[in-house]
């Protein structure tokens, strides 16, 4: 019989919102800018999931998997995301964004190499790179809030 998890929130998302309501409010303009940008919704979700996987943030992984499914991201792209380099289902633009995401998420141990920069600039305009950098920084921020506080992952009711 499988063990029951004893992991419980330290401060859960609803409580965090009450304690620091300005946080979500402060992020709203960034979310608005990203939603209204030329970065595709599915691409935005893929980078958020990948960064959250690298950071071990269960809440953000599940939240953005839910959002990706709503955005119509194909199941194989979600299933194979941890091994994205091992499959050809991601476009060159997505692969460049995922590589850049990994560099920024792991920047302390994997600085952004020139090859990664050249690749991302090949597939994204200067403005899009600025937006992509912002999206990656934003999800890394949320991972660093949600993971240590152990927000409860938003599991869909039909799961």
pLDDT of res. 111:
85
Number of domains in the chain: 1
Which two three-digit tokens encode residue 82? Answer: 């941890």
* Residue 26 resides in a domain: no
Q: Where are the alpha helices (DSSP H) in the chain?
A: 13-19, 21-35, 41-55, 58-70, 75-79, 92-105, 114-123, 126-149
Angle at 30 between CA 75 and CA 120, to 5 degrees: 60
pLDDT of res. 150:
96
Please, are residues 139 and 46 in contact by the beta-carbon 8 Å criterion? Answer: no
* Residue 47 resides in a domain: yes
* Residue 34 resides in a domain: no
CATH for 48:
1.20.1290.10
pLDDT of res. 118:
96
pLDDT of res. 110:
83
pLDDT of res. 6:
72
Structural domain including 125 reads 39-147
The stretches in the chain having pLDDT less than 70 are: 1-5, 159
């Amino acid at each position: 019989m499988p063990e029951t998890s004893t992991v419980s929130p330290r401060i859960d998302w609803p409580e965090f919102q009450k304690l620091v309501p300005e946080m979500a409010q402060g992020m709203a303009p960034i979310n608005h800018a990203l939603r209204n940008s030329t970065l595709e919704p599915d691409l935005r979700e893929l980078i958020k999931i990948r960064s959250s996987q690298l950071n071990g943030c269960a809440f953000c992984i599940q939240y953005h998997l839910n959002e990706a499914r709503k955005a119509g991201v194909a199941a194989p792209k979600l299933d194979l995301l941890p091994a994205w380099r091992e499959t050809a289902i991601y476009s060159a633009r997505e692969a460049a964004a995922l590589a850049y995401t990994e560099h920024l998420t792991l920047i302390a141990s994997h600085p952004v190499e020139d090859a990664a920069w050249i690749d991302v600039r090949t597939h994204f305009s200067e403005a899009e790179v600025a937006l992509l950098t912002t999206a990656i920084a934003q999800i890394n921020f949320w991972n660093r809030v949600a993971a240590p506080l152990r927000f409860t992952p938003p599991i869909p009711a039909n799961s």
